[in-house]
Amino acid sequence: MVHRHAAAGRRTALAAVGTLLLSGICSTAAAEAEPPPLAGPLPSATQTLGADRPSAQVLRALERDLGLTGQQAATRLVNEAEAGTRAGRLRLALGERFAGAWLSGATSGTLTVATTSTADVTTIQGQGAKAAVVKATLADLTAVKGKLDKAASLVSTRNAPQWFVDVPRNKVVLEAASRSAADAFLRAAGLDTKQVDVKVSSNRPHLMADITGGDAYYVNGAARCSVGFSVTKGARQGFATAGHCGDPGDRTTGYDQAEQGAFQASAFPGKDMAWVSAGGDWTATANVKGEEGATVQIGGSVEALVGASVCRSGSTTGWHCGTIQQHGTSVSYAEGVVDGLTRTTVCAEPGDSGGPYVSGAQAQGVTSGGTGDCTRGGTTFYQPVNPVLGDYGLTLKTASTGASAPGQQDGGQADGWAAGRVYHIGATVVHDGVRYQCLQSHQAQGAWSPAATPALWQRV
């Protein structure tokens, strides 16, 4: 996102299975001992994560795209913020028996947490969640998907364009153009159909390429993509976007063709991430373009759960919402495989590539590719934003913290908490002499110290 100038243009269509550049893209386990009780009462996550004051733009789009009333939309955002903290605490408490967590219901009022042990049911229900006892742990399913990931580097996946862990179904799913294509991929991975659920589909994801997040920008005067989120790196400011939109050194111009900046780093395939450093005429903001040109302010980057609502902004189709289906999806585009994408029901079209995904006030990722369009609907994937921030050492521009650079470790300790650092579930830090464990993946903001944000951290 950038002030003063924005962008608008188009990139040559890619013959891809799935990215969106202005082209196209793409056994119940035996009972075990009761786990230790969770530490302390469950805190409210609504205030610290901004769910108690949602943007009118987010509410209106949720009403339109998810068929909710205004009150249902507001309730949903509060429920999702609270559930994220609850799920994080249960994941840490269950340990290796954890098999995933997801939300359901029109207002996300039901949190389900899966485990492989019946001994965990009481603990899960004690946190206000529904318990599901399943055969495979999340680690088991992730290991199976890992074999597919490894095989994808050795064989063509043109006709098997996406695979992922379907947490609610406790399965690894492979979507392929034909049964024979799926079988060939499974053989290469050393797997069989008892381990992977095969779905035959003609859908082929493709890239969407074509500075407030959602504005358009041109690459080398031709291709058009969409701005993701404003970021800073030291004194430099710019924005995060999709890697397939440009290579390091490629120049960018704004919506009015004014000089803007250049790609500083880019990764695609493998990942689909990049960042552009903007010139002095551009000012990074915490804004994302919402409905009818109004803006939504970003408050952080707390990762939302499967089943949570998410909205996307793009220079071709504007502001649309849907829900998160799976995290950690691997997608085989014509240009190569991209791992770690999040699959959603949000529609998108060529030119929307790189644009931002927002859940409530939290940044989620940038548009990679998908299938369908905003007339018929479809599936769209985004590159999660926290890996972009972590890999490139960027700081997300937020309404609460501005563009402060990453801070020093708390007390100078190697494991001290530091603003600007990306933390994942289970990470431990020391803050003011007390050790905490991370409940939800996020980039630490200056106002989000562990002691001040029990929605994100618990004492250990």
Identity at 39, one-letter amino acid code: A
The contacts of residue 330 (CB under 8 Å, 6+ apart) are 145, 148, 149, 152, 162, 163, 164, 337, 338, 339, 340, 341
Cα separation, 104 vs 100, in Å, equals: 13
Cα separation, 198 vs 183, in Å, equals: 9
Q: Which of 332, 353, 441, 449 is catalytic?
A: 353
> Tokens 């803050």 label which residue?
431
Other Cβ atoms less than 10 A from the Cβ of 191: the count is 18
Using omega within 30 degrees of 0 as the cis cutoff, is the peptide bond preceding 269 cis? yes
**Residue 438 near residue 430 (C-beta atoms within 8 A):** no
Question: Does the annotation count 327 as an active-site position?
Answer: no
Q: Which of 5, 206, 244, 442 is catalytic?
A: 244
Question: Does the annotation count 108 as an active-site position?
Answer: no
Q: Which of 272, 339, 352, 410 is catalytic?
A: 272
> Tokens 């991370």 label which residue?
438
Question: Does the annotation count 244 as an active-site position?
Answer: yes
**Residue 355 backbone class (left: φ over 0; alpha: ψ -120 to 50; beta: rest):** beta
Rounded to 5 degrees, φ, ψ at 291 are -70, 135
The contacts of residue 51 (CB under 8 Å, 6+ apart) are 45, 77, 78, 80, 81, 82, 360, 361
**Residue 435 near residue 337 (C-beta atoms within 8 A):** no
Q: Annotated catalytic sites, by residue?
A: 244, 272, 353
